[in-house]
Structures are given as C-alpha cells and as structure tokens.
Chain A
Amino acid sequence: MSVAQSEAAGLFGTRPVPAGTPHVVGRVEEVPPGEGRAFVVDGVQIAVFRLRDGSLHATQAACPHAGGPLADGQTDARVLVCPLHLRAYRWSDGASTSGAAPVTVYPVHAADGDLVVTV
C-alpha cells in the first residue's frame, strides 16, 4: 500500500477530526521562516509551517495526491504547494486549488515560544 493510500484510508481521510487535544511539538524557531518541518503528534505525522508574516499553519504531512512530503513544499500567504507534482492546497480550508483531494488542516499556535498543535 502506498503512503497516499494508507494516509487517506486510515490516518486522516475517514477518521473524523476529534475536538482535539493540544500538544506541544517543539519550539517555534525549529521551523525557519517560510519553511515547513514535520513533527509526530500522538502517532500522527504533521507538517508545521511558519510563514514570513509570522503566521503558523499545520497540515497532514503527506500529500493526498501521491504521498509527497508537504513539509518540503513551498508556501505563500494563501497556499501550500507540494514539491512532487505542484498540487496546491489552501491554508484556509485545506481544499486543493488544482484538482486534488483536500488536506487535513490542524489548529496550531505559539505559546511562550512553544509550537502547540491541536490534534
């Protein structure tokens, strides 16, 4: 089973996102401005992004299209672009702007320099 399939079927796709528990995954400075880094939260791999405007975003780590590493993608204020086939996903709701299945987005914020992801 490919990464994409396992993720879609098991980890993110069909499981309803619960109300969620906040988890500290690391320090804000571990994610360089404009880039993304992957973390594991409660057995789930999550990509966390810090944009140049300081805002934080978190998505599932593998691209729903072909399992690409989203933390290696490029970003702007509106979208995240997967490095493998350049599928783009909106931060606002995870929907794809280029015809792929949506990504799951997670609430993320900073507290005293800690990255807090709610899963």
Chain B
Amino acid sequence: MTAVLGGRAQGVSTLHFAMDDADGIDTRQRLVVIGNGMAGARVVEEVLERGGGEQFAITVFGEEPHGNYNRIMLSHVLAGEEHEDDIVLNSHDWYADNGVVLRAGVRVHRVDTHAKVVHAADGTTTPYDQLVIATGSRSFIPPMTGLYRGPAGATDGEQLLPGVFGFRTIDDTRAMLAAAAEHEKAVVVGGGLLGLEAARALQGHGLAVEVVHAGTHLMNQQLDPDGGAILKQSVEALGIVVHLATRTTEVIGPDRVRGVVLADGRAVDADMLVIAAGIRPVTEVALMSGLEVERGIVVDDQLRTDDPDVYAVGECAQHRGELYGLVAPVWEQARVLADLLTGTDPAAEYHGSRTATKLKVAGVDVATMGVNRPERDTDEFLVISEPRRGVHLSVVVRDDKLIGATLLGDTRKVAYLTQAFDRGTPLPEQRIKLLVDLSDGDAEVGVAELPHDSQVCNCNGVTKGAICDAVAGGCGSVGAVMDRTRAGRGCGSCKGLVQQVVEWAADGDVVEDPTAGWYVPGIPLAKPELMAAIREQGLLSVSAVFAALAPGGQEDARSKMALTSLLKMIWGAQHVRENDATFINDRVHGNIQRDGTFSVVPQMKGGVTTPAQLKKIAEVAEKYEVPMVKITGGQRIDLLGVRKEDLPAVWDDLGMPSGYAYGKSFRTVKTCVGSDFCRFGLGDSTQLGIDLETRFQGIESPAKMKLAVVGCPRNCAEAYVKDVGVVAVGNGRWEVYVGGAAGASVRKGDLLATVDTPEAVMELAGRFMQYYRENANWLERTYDFVPRVGLERIKAVLLQDSEGICAQLDENMQQSIDAYTDPWGQDGRAPATPGQFRPALPLVELPLVPVR
C-alpha cells in the first residue's frame, strides 16, 4: 500500500559521495530544485540534456516519497486503465544514474535568499547557486462544516474526515481505489475536468456517483453554457447524477463520511467524498522566503522571481498574470529555463502559451483551444449545436485568425483547427467549413471519408492510401511523407490536403518539420535571419552562402535555385553569378520541355506586337524548323521545341529580348485594348501594361508573378485573377488587386487600393512586389502569401507605412530594376560557362515533339 512509486528494489542502496565531500574540488555550480513533480523533474531532464550535468551539481527536493510520475494519468490509474508502475516518468534509479541527488519525502520550509541556503523540514540546510521552485499546486478544499476530524474550528493541516479524498497525488489515488472497493456511494465535489474524470472512474468501480458543481454549467473553464448543458446530458446518460449551481455546505459524520448537505438544504447519502474543486498554487515556500507572490509566484519572461538567482516554473508560477495548469506550457517553461541555466541560449524567453487540449471527459471527446466565446464586438462566433447527438462545436475568429475553438462530442476537425490556431493559417471564407466538411459540389470531403484509392496529388498520382502507407511506414512529418511519396511536390496545390491526410493518418501525432520554417532545406535559417546573415557577412555567391551558413558547409542541390534568386534580390548587380547554382531554365534562359528541348518566348510587352516582329518570328520558326508556334496564356508567342544548341542563334536571329517565360520571376503583363480602341474602355490599360513590363521586366521573386491591366471591370485580360491586377474604374482611377490566381488554385485578388494615376499604380505595384519578394517563402505564390500575411497588415505596411519601410522597399526594388540585363543578349554573345549550350542527350534526335 505504501510502496514507493518508482522506488528502488529493497536492499539496493547507492553510496553517493558528492564530489565536494570526496575531495573538495567540485567546481560545479549548485542547482537546487524544490519540487519533484512534472515541472521540476522536467527542468532537470532538460538541463541534463543540454550537458548541464557537467555544469551543475543538482539536488531535487520532493515532498512525496516517490520518483517522478505522470500526474495527468492519475485518473486512468483510478479508472483501472493503467497500472501505477506505468505512469512513472523517472524512478529513483534514474536520479542516481544521472548523478542527481533526490531528497524524496523531504519538505522544504523556506529559503534564505541572502545566505542562498534551503532549509528543509528535516533540519538540514542545502546551499545553492541557482534555485528553481516548482512546488506545483494542491487541491482546493472549499470550506464546509464537518470536513475535518476533531473539534470545530480545526484548521488546515488537520486530518480530513475518513472517507474524504483530495485528488492530486498517487497516494490520494491509492486511497480512493482502496475505498472504492468497500463503498457504494460517492459524491464528487467539482464538475470540472478532474471531477468528471473521478466520477467516471468511480462509477466504473461500481459506485453510484453524484457530482456537485458550484458553477452554472459543467467544465465552465473550458465550455460555454450551451456546451456545458450538452455535456451534462451526456454525463447523465451514463447514470451520473449532476447537481449544478449549488455547493456542499456540510459533511455528515461524525466518525466518517455518511453524506453531505447541499446549500439548498438537500441531503445526499454518500460514503465517499471526493474533492476536485480546482487547484491552488503551492506558494508557502516562496512566501516564507520573502519572494513576490500574487496568485502564484511572480516570474518574468526569463521565469525569474524578484530574486535574480531564484526561478519558478509550472503550476506555482504566475507569468504575465497567467497561471497554467496544463502540461504543454509547463514543458515550454522548462525548456526556456534550461536554455537559460545552461547558457545554451542566454536570450531565451518565455512569452506565455496558447493552450490547446484534447481529452476524453467521462467518455465524451472534448477539445478546446484559446477562448471559448467572443470577447470583442468584431469577433466572429460560429456555433453548431446538436444536443440530440451530444455534439456542440464553436469557433471564435478575430481578424481572420482562429483565436478559439471548442469541440464537444465530435473532435474530427481538431487537427485542422489546432493548426489554424497554432500557426495562424488562412481560414476558409465560408467559416462553417472550419467545423464541418461540406460537400457543396466542390466535392470537398473530409479526409476521413475520402476513399482509400482517391488521388490526393494529381501531379504525381499519389493516393490517400499511399500517404497512409507512408505514415504507417514511419514517416513522422508532412515533409517526410512528401519526400517519400512525392505528393505535393508537383504544382503544390494539394499540399494542404496532403497535410490533412497525414495528420488524419497519424491521428494528430505529427512532428512539426524542423525544416518547415527554413527558407531553403539546406540552411537552418528562416528567411529574415537568412537575409540578415547574407547581408552582414557580405555573401555574394551561393557557394559562399553554403560555406558560411550550411551545417558543415554542405551544399544542397535543392536549395541552390532559391538562394540564387535571393542573392540576386539582395545584391542586384553585385551578386556573383554561379551557373551551377541555377536551374537549367535560368542557365539557358528558356523553359525546358519534356524531351529536353526548350521554349523560346520573345518579349512582347503588354502582349502588343508588330507586323515586322511577326515576320521575324515566322522566319526564325521556319529556319530552325520549330515544331510548334503557339500563343501563350500570357498573350505571348511561344516557339516550342528549340534545341539547346540552337538557342543563341535563335535569339540572335530574332533580335528581341527575353520574354522571361521560364523563371521564378516577373513574367508578363496581359492587357486589353483599353481606351484607345475599345468603346467601353475607361483607361489606357495597354500603355500602363507596357510601362509596368518595362519597369519590372525580369525581376526575380520567390515564385512567378503574372500581372494584367484591364481598361474596365469587364476584365477581358483577367486582372482579377493575377498576382497583381489593375482595373480602370473611370475618372482616371485604377483599382489594384493582389493575390489573385487562375492556375492550380483559383482566387480572386484582394483590392489593395484605388489610386488616381498610372504613376501611383506603378509605385504601389512595385512596393507590393518588393514586400512579397522580401517576405514570401520560396515558391509561395501571392495567392498564398496575401492570405497568410493578411490583407489588413499588407495595407497597413504599404499604404500607411506602418513599419516605416516603404522608402526602403522602393529603393530595394529600384536596385533590382537597375541590375536588369537582357540574358539573351548577354549569354548569346558570350556563353557564361564552357559548353553552356551543348546537347545534354547527344544521341537523341531532338525534338521528339510531334510536328503539327
């Protein structure tokens, strides 16, 4: 009964000589941790993981005699689903093996922060250099008459009446298990998470259970009243009686629990009384030591108390006014503290946690994150309530971002919502899609319902089944699945769906890709840090970037193209070109075709050409037996199937600059005939298109940029679905749209601004494109970038200059414009590297494309 959990086998003992006892030369700092719960032990683990065992002689005080165990699992132990041995996290052996002195079963009285000494209840004193307080919390015992054994007026510290239990420790749990075997009727005080779990567990042992809850609805910390009402139905359906909005005022004794009296005078028979009415931080040690305590021990962003050598973490700590009772924030705190203590990251800070939790309460699935109801007039609040099914779902949206969600009875959307909540990913326009998978003709079915053989990635022909197999085969992250199956590696439009399938297949157990935040896979830096490093270290070439910033100086083939683009943007003409660091399209300035030939698209600004140009193009096409001549979607003429070795001669004969139909760059500006010819035209769209193309030709960017200008809202040149689209609306005014798409995705652009002159269009378009160039992820088109950043933010930055960067954006764009050279003219005259235009398949008769 009183076995020590995670204890050592009897007879085993370790003679532990602290080094200073042995030879007096232990130069390590003394780290003392008060509290051996999930927070305290985690701090020790994290410190050891960072090599802290060599820096620190560590001593841990634990009030309980046990090793460290998983408190979250206690309700499972109570329910008989887990054996208590299975919830041990760190046994006594673990401490011994890691050279950590565990003072289990020793309560700490107070700390003398001046002498830097810990005074324990057993009379010992322990000096420290750094001290961590992780005393956690204890059950809150609400006042009620007759709760304690002994005379009236007995105070805290007195014995609870036999049959009364808190629910906090393994000893509480053992005592309840023993009592449950002998008793029939239990009252649980508290209808929160812990109370309901206790109630359900005791019911499982055959007891009749009633829950008394002071709030007006169950789980009022997490659920709104309607959700609480539905949970109550589900709990009652299990046979548990629920009393709401009332308190237990008296315990009927006197020798042991015989029943309780409620505030309204009703008496309820019971031979067990479980108190799960919330927790309170344990702050006595801190108070006795003169540290600042409000609700919890007050700490700053470095988890430091008002004494510089004393820290607090976990449920006892109060950070920015918040107390945390979930494990995820506690572990975040432990990581930050370990970074600080060991000096791994002296600037580490904890900024609070966005808490999300998914659990099963009394057999009902519940997931909550963030707030559970709207807080401002402008917050969007969507609720779907199905009391009959026991389902209640709600989301709170602020400024296009998910700030809270509550799912009761149906948590299928939890993975998706957690993503949106954690990462602020774009939300569907139809908010209802946050909660339900609608089959509205788009055949957008929830991933759970997708048939196994349905194709998820159409580019690479990858089915849902193949993705699930990859997950089952050990791929733990979305990136790993994409590498294995190639799903999402084509046009990329299915990436979201791939991610959903992976999350579904892994049941939410997905590792966040460490590379996900990096700009390129070969260099462990996000874009802003990468750009800063390149600037600071003056890295002008891709090989210099690898040498300076890649782990081990290792080149990475898949990172080269993005780095070349980035360097060109940062340095303009100063960038040192390395042909091998470019994609083949950029090496030979044409778009590679399936047979290894190339397409040649001469520049034709605004889609406007001349008879002379057309004659020239016709002559060239005949001379080089070009197998196909085609009008492109961007209003250009494409000569397809040109052999690599013919490229310089073709360019030379054409005598026209490159139309940039191959790069991750500014591509084309489509125009309509505007006011010059069209009887509906409101503005000279043709000239503005030509001007835009003249100014921004060839500008490289994270992904291609396709533009259009139309002379009226009839939109003949499709400006509403362009990366930047300009629409004449009369009276000399122009609307500028951004983030539109009509490719793998179709999206109408967002109206950025309406301006008065073509010059203003040019300035705003340039500013937007530069902002995109500097901030978008590699291959992230504007139709993903704009919703990710948020239109309001983009407006603020570009129109109100909220970040004070507009002048810099304009200047940076001008640098790129000044660096423009026509690649055909340049490499046509003198190859950039030897054999630049040599055939790569010398034995294959090209082109293989059939001549029409």
Decide yes or no whether A95 CB sits under 8 A from chain B: no
Decide yes or no whether A35 CB sits under 8 A from chain B: yes
CB proximity to B under 8 Å, residues A68-114: 68-77, 79-81, 83-84, 86, 88, 97-99
Q: Tell me how far the C-beta of A67 lies from the nearest C-beta in chain B, rounded to whole angstroms.
A: 7
A1-36: contact bitstring with B at CB < 8 Å (1 yes, 0 no)? Answer: 011000000000000000000000000011111111
- Binding stretch for chain A, among B170-178, B268-276, B838-846: B838-846
Q: A97 to B489, alpha carbons, bound, how many Å? A: 14
Chain B neighbourhood of A45, CB < 8 A: 841-844
* Category for how many chain B residues contact A: 35 or more
Decide yes or no whether A61 CB sits under 8 A from chain B: yes
Decide yes or no whether B561 CB sits under 8 A from chain A: yes
Q: A61 to B841, alpha carbons, bound, how many Å? A: 6
Q: Check A32 against B579 for contact (C-beta < 8 Å).
A: yes
Q: Tell me how far the C-beta of B374 lies from the nearest C-beta in chain A, rounded to whole angstroms.
A: 46
Which of the listed residues B489, B522, B558, B584 has the most CB atoms from chain A within 10 Å of its own CB?
B584
Nearest-CB residue, chain B, relative to A82 = B584
Chain A neighbourhood of B556, CB < 8 A: 76
CB proximity to A under 8 Å, residues B800-852: 833-835, 838-844, 848
Q: A47 to B839, alpha carbons, bound, how many Å? A: 11
Q: Check B580 against A69 for contact (C-beta < 8 Å).
A: no
Q: A66 to B583, alpha carbons, bound, how many Å? A: 18
Chain B neighbourhood of A97, CB < 8 A: 483
Q: Check A40 against B843 for contact (C-beta < 8 Å).
A: yes
Nearest-CB residue, chain B, relative to A75 = B557
Q: Check A37 against B838 for contact (C-beta < 8 Å).
A: yes
Cross-chain contact of B594 among A39, A66, A73, A79 (Cβ < 8 A): A66
Cross-chain contact of A98 among B486, B554, B594, B834 (Cβ < 8 A): B486
Chain A neighbourhood of B840, CB < 8 A: 36-38, 47, 61, 69-72
**Are A3 and B555 CB-contacts (below 8 A) given A69-B596, A74-B560?**
no
Cross-chain contact of A81 among B557, B581, B839 (Cβ < 8 A): B557
Nearest-CB residue, chain B, relative to A3 = B844
Cross-chain contact of B578 among A34, A79, A98 (Cβ < 8 A): A34
Decide yes or no whether B595 CB sits under 8 A from chain A: yes
Decide yes or no whether B116 CB sits under 8 A from chain A: no
Q: Check B848 against A39 for contact (C-beta < 8 Å).
A: no
Decide yes or no whether B218 CB sits under 8 A from chain A: no
CB proximity to A under 8 Å, residues B541-565: 543, 554-558, 560-561
Q: Check B561 against A74 for contact (C-beta < 8 Å).
A: yes
Chain A neighbourhood of B555, CB < 8 A: 52, 76-77
Decide yes or no whether B452 CB sits under 8 A from chain A: no
Nearest-CB residue, chain B, relative to A2 = B848
Chain B neighbourhood of A69, CB < 8 A: 584, 592, 596, 840-841
B496-538: contact bitstring with A at CB < 8 Å (1 yes, 0 no)? Answer: 0000000000000000000000000010000000000000000
Decide yes or no whether A115 CB sits under 8 A from chain B: no
Decide yes or no whether B485 CB sits under 8 A from chain A: yes
Cross-chain contact of B584 among A47, A62, A72, A88 (Cβ < 8 A): A72
Chain B neighbourhood of A79, CB < 8 A: 557
**Are A86 and B489 CB-contacts (below 8 A) given A29-B834, A74-B583, A79-B557?**
yes
Nearest-CB residue, chain A, relative to B483 = A98
Number of A-B pairs, beta carbon distance below 8 Å: 107
Cross-chain contact of A38 among B595, B833, B841 (Cβ < 8 A): B841
Q: Check A34 against B581 for contact (C-beta < 8 Å).
A: yes
Chain A neighbourhood of B489, CB < 8 A: 86
Q: A98 to B560, alpha carbons, bound, how many Å? A: 18
Chain A neighbourhood of B109, CB < 8 A: none
**Are A84 and B592 CB-contacts (below 8 A) given A34-B581, A38-B842, A47-B840?**
yes
Nearest-CB residue, chain A, relative to B848 = A3
Q: A106 to B833, alpha carbons, bound, how many Å? A: 24
Cross-chain contact of B580 among A30, A34, A43 (Cβ < 8 A): A34
Chain A neighbourhood of B554, CB < 8 A: 76-77
Decide yes or no whether B258 CB sits under 8 A from chain A: no
Decide yes or no whether B484 CB sits under 8 A from chain A: yes
Decide yes or no whether B168 CB sits under 8 A from chain A: no
Chain A neighbourhood of B560, CB < 8 A: 74, 76
Decide yes or no whether B587 CB sits under 8 A from chain A: yes
**Are A37 and B596 CB-contacts (below 8 A) given A3-B844, A52-B580, A61-B841?**
no
* Category for how many chain A residues contact B: 35 or more
Q: Check A72 against B596 for contact (C-beta < 8 Å).
A: yes
Chain A neighbourhood of B557, CB < 8 A: 74-76, 79-81, 88
Q: Check A38 against B594 for contact (C-beta < 8 Å).
A: no
Q: Check A62 against B841 for contact (C-beta < 8 Å).
A: yes
Nearest-CB residue, chain B, relative to A52 = B543
Which of the listed residues A30, A35, A67 has the most CB atoms from chain B within 10 Å of its own CB?
A35
Q: Check A37 against B835 for contact (C-beta < 8 Å).
A: yes
Chain B neighbourhood of A81, CB < 8 A: 557-558
Q: Check B558 against A39 for contact (C-beta < 8 Å).
A: no
Chain A neighbourhood of B561, CB < 8 A: 74
Nearest-CB residue, chain B, relative to A47 = B840
Nearest-CB residue, chain A, relative to B832 = A32
Nearest-CB residue, chain B, relative to A37 = B835
Which of the listed residues A3, A77, A79, A80 has the most CB atoms from chain B within 10 Å of its own CB?
A3
Q: Tell me how far the C-beta of A22 lies from the nearest C-beta in chain B, rounded to whole angstroms.
A: 20
Chain B neighbourhood of A74, CB < 8 A: 557-558, 560-561, 580, 583-584
Nearest-CB residue, chain A, relative to B555 = A76
Q: Check B579 against A35 for contact (C-beta < 8 Å).
A: yes
Q: Check B595 against A3 for contact (C-beta < 8 Å).
A: yes
Which of the listed residues A43, A45, A80 has the most CB atoms from chain B within 10 Å of its own CB?
A45
Q: Check A3 against B579 for contact (C-beta < 8 Å).
A: no
Nearest-CB residue, chain B, relative to A80 = B557
Chain A neighbourhood of B848, CB < 8 A: 2-3
Q: Check A99 against B592 for contact (C-beta < 8 Å).
A: no
Q: Tell me how far the C-beta of B590 lies from the nearest C-beta in chain A, rounded to whole angstroms.
A: 11
Q: A99 to B554, alpha carbons, bound, how many Å? A: 23
Q: A43 to B579, alpha carbons, bound, how many Å? A: 29
Cross-chain contact of A73 among B485, B579, B584, B595 (Cβ < 8 A): B584
Q: A32 to B833, alpha carbons, bound, how many Å? A: 6
Chain B neighbourhood of A31, CB < 8 A: 835
Q: Check A99 against B485 for contact (C-beta < 8 Å).
A: yes
Chain A neighbourhood of B580, CB < 8 A: 32-35, 52, 74-75
Q: Tell me how far the C-beta of B87 lies from the nearest C-beta in chain A, rounded to whole angstroms.
A: 41
Q: A3 to B594, alpha carbons, bound, how many Å? A: 11
Chain B neighbourhood of A98, CB < 8 A: 483, 486
CB proximity to A under 8 Å, residues B15-46: none
Cross-chain contact of A62 among B485, B594, B844 (Cβ < 8 A): B844
Chain B neighbourhood of A77, CB < 8 A: 554-555
Chain B neighbourhood of A84, CB < 8 A: 592, 594
Q: A86 to B459, alpha carbons, bound, how many Å? A: 13
Q: Check B839 against A38 for contact (C-beta < 8 Å).
A: yes
Q: A75 to B483, alpha carbons, bound, how many Å? A: 17
Q: Tell me how far the C-beta of A70 lies from the nearest C-beta in chain B, rounded to whole angstroms.
A: 7
Chain B neighbourhood of A76, CB < 8 A: 522, 554-557, 560
CB proximity to A under 8 Å, residues B746-796: none
Which of the listed residues A36, A37, A70, A75 has the most CB atoms from chain B within 10 Å of its own CB?
A37
Nearest-CB residue, chain A, relative to B561 = A74
Q: What are 18 A-B contacts defined by CB distance under 8 Å?
A: A34-B579, A39-B842, A43-B843, A45-B843, A67-B595, A69-B584, A69-B840, A72-B596, A74-B584, A76-B522, A76-B555, A77-B554, A77-B555, A79-B557, A83-B584, A83-B592, A86-B558, A99-B486
Given contacts A37-B835, A73-B584, A76-B555, 5 further A-B contacts (CB under 8 A): A2-B848, A34-B581, A38-B838, A72-B840, A83-B583
In order of increasing CB-CB distance, the 5 nearest A-B pairs are A34-B580, A69-B840, A32-B833, A71-B840, A76-B555
